[in-house]
Structure 1
Amino acid sequence: MIELRVGDLPAEVWPSPKDNIPERRRADLHDDLWELVRDGFAPIADVVDDADVEKFLLGAEVGIYLFEQGRCRAVFMVDAIELAAGRVLYLALAAVHSSLRGSGFYLPMVLLRMALGRAWHCTWWATRTANPIVAETFGRFDPYPWRDDRASQAAAAELGAELRARFSVGDTPAPHEFDVRTGVLTAAYPIALYDSLPAGGGPRVRDHFARHLELERGDALLLLGPLDDAIDQLAPRCDELLGRPFPSLLDSLASLHPEP
């Protein structure tokens, strides 16, 4: 486990958290993780159990846990996915307590995860979201589906198929389909994550959501872009955002290798 600070907040970075976080520590986190689910994804809180919460908030190659006054108030799951188009840094589930939203820590957490991608020699970064605020944040890196780039489209098509396989149940494929023209994963989630569309996002994002996504169906938007483009924007701000130069951050993450 690696300890970092994000602004004034301590963070723990765990490789394979479900396997490596000690049982006592997981018990200490239990109530905080449930509170994150209830606070951020109220519609699903009544249909998940402890096993689901552990899968969502502990089941990744790396988990980043951000604390405020001793309570876990944000969790970010990170995986690496091997594609023919290159290794993808997949920014999986993110859960953020309402007490931290708008406090300026989110961009530093984007940088921290992108740095993991650089340490893992990824070609791409990608995430899926039903939240226009998240889409707007990552939209600053000019990602697919908005960039006119055949390589990005090909990587997104391959990743869309891989995500369908990963979220299958036994031998049954996940119900979602992927539209490479729009980047929409239909029925990506088994239930709508939000009672209403979160306010925020610029005109491009809001228009794309309005025209192509049906949130009540559980749709999500797949975003994907070259990792180097994001790093080029964020690395010069590493001192400002995370209190250390980018090479120092990479050194601290060097021991966190994805599974081959």
Structure 2
Amino acid sequence: MNIGELFVELVLAGLLALAALLFPLYSIEPLGLEVSNNALAIATSLSFALGVIVDRSADTILDKWLGLVRFEFAEKTNIGEQRKALVGSDPVGDVFPEDWLRILMLSGGSDATVRAMEALRTRIRVARNMIVLTPMLTVSVILGDWPPRSEAPHTDRLSVGVEAAAFFPLMELAALVVAVWVGSAWLTAPHTSRPDEQGLKRSWLASAATAWLGLHFLAAAAIIVCSPDCTTASVAAAGLVLTILSVLAWKRMTMSFTDFLWKYGRFTDAKGLRAHIRDPAGHA
């Protein structure tokens, strides 16, 4: 992935995040906020920095799910048989030595092979960012039309709407910080070099990603309960469907990526792969 593609990806992620954070305030008609050329220039500048934050945060939030996907791949029947054919009855130190496989491909792979790997990684990053951003966008759109016009006087609605819109970016950023902290400090990913880990370490639900998604859809449900409306319910349903599709796409592409690495290592350096399966340090 070249620098230009990375820049575009981060800017797009930042623009989506910025749109999600500011849409509730922009949707309040009496404020008369307009999108000018200067505002767009500033937004583009800010979006790169925000995109970097979103990208790294999404990486941490989904880190545990990524570890579980690695285990799911490593525990597939055909992969287990291939691993057994490599090491025989020797003890296994790492069921899927991904770090070594990546280094092997980057150092010895052809340009076409490396480009294929980078293309897969780019798609995975886009899907990963959408898992984090889609719930934000869903709550933002729902909040932009709350409280309902039919149930609140104009002045009361404006006051409540401005307060909610002003606090929304702060609450989202605080939730992002907490999710990253929980993901990095408490609900860390299980490692394939320790395949015997069980319990919460191998739980999909006990993860920062589950907490992030759950909080946003609880927030969306709470707003809908306070302002029952077919439109907001449809937005929530659409957001839920898009999030599920993003998760499924991310998981499918991640499995394809791990399969790509495994096949490359098995066919190009079976001896090295055997050594790193036996001993993650490669001393076997």
* Shorter-chain TM-score range: under 0.3
What TM-score comes out, normalization by structure 2 length? 0.24
Q: Which has the larger radius of gyration?
A: 2
Q: Which has the higher helix share?
A: 2
What TM-score comes out, normalization by structure 1 length? 0.25
Q: Which has the higher strand share?
A: 1
